[in-house]
Amino acid sequence: MRFVFLFFLTILFASQTVFAGESWGIYFPKDGGRPEANATAEQLLQYDAYFMGNENDKVLYMTFDAGYENGLTAGILDVLKKHKVPSAFFLVGGYIRDEPELIKRMVAEGHIVANHTMTHPDMSKISDLQTFEKELSRVEEIYREVTGEEIPKFYRPPRGIYSETNLKHAQQLGYKTIFWSTAYKDWEVNNQPSKEEAFSKLLPRTKPGSVILLHNVSKTNADILDELISRCKEMGYKFESLYHLVGK
């Protein structure tokens, strides 16, 4: 009887942590192994959602989130071009509207410009498909106006806050939801980590298949990116597009 009760608690806890309306969380084992998260790769896959790639391939996926531009992105693009690293930029609608030349450059240089919603809300509080779709479709319209193309169907929920309903809605709309497995506190522009702090957080957390999340408003990220990519390559990693992650 006690075993049955404990088994029930295990199943209940798993269902709550996978699909509760909470922020995406990553936990790093003390033994230095691959990170664990709110959900396993297998649980997410049923909703076309991902946070890591194949653990047997030394492949990394570089992604950036941005709600506004503060003059650092052109330099970041220069570094990515130098190293031939394909990246994904998850951008809100206002960024795409206000920075058309940067958007065109990203596309021309082989990067993915992806959907980070129009207004950056707490998406877990949106339960109806119509409202959810509006947050994404307005970004699609602006991207189409700027580039003349359809936006790649990759979506990242603002602040990583999600629910099972969100995952279902994104899937219904043809999107792949992309979380992350490597990140650090880099988004506070007036409280930037040092170069040493950045490397101490990023490098030990980088594993085969890691989806790296950086913010391109970060001066530290702009300063370390060249060396970060070089050190990852020295560790035997190569960088691939999100299309590789989702098997396209």
Q: Could you give the 3-state DSSP secondary structure of residue 212?
A: strand
Sequence-distant (≥ 6) Cβ neighbours of residue 193 within 8 angstroms: 184, 185, 186, 201, 220
- Give 228's Cβ-side CA count (13 Å radius): 29
Q: Tokens 């309306």, residue?
A: 21
Q: Tokens 């075993």, residue?
A: 3
Sequence-distant (≥ 6) Cβ neighbours of residue 215 within 8 angstroms: 64, 65, 66, 186, 187, 221
User: In angstroms, rounded to a whole number, what is the distance separating the alpha carbons of residues 201 and 198?
Assistant: 5
Angle between helices 100-108 and 73-83 in degrees, nearest 10: 10
List active site positions: 65, 215
Contact 21, 124 (CB under 8 A): yes
DSSP per-residue codes, 17-38: HHHSSEE--EE--TTS---EES
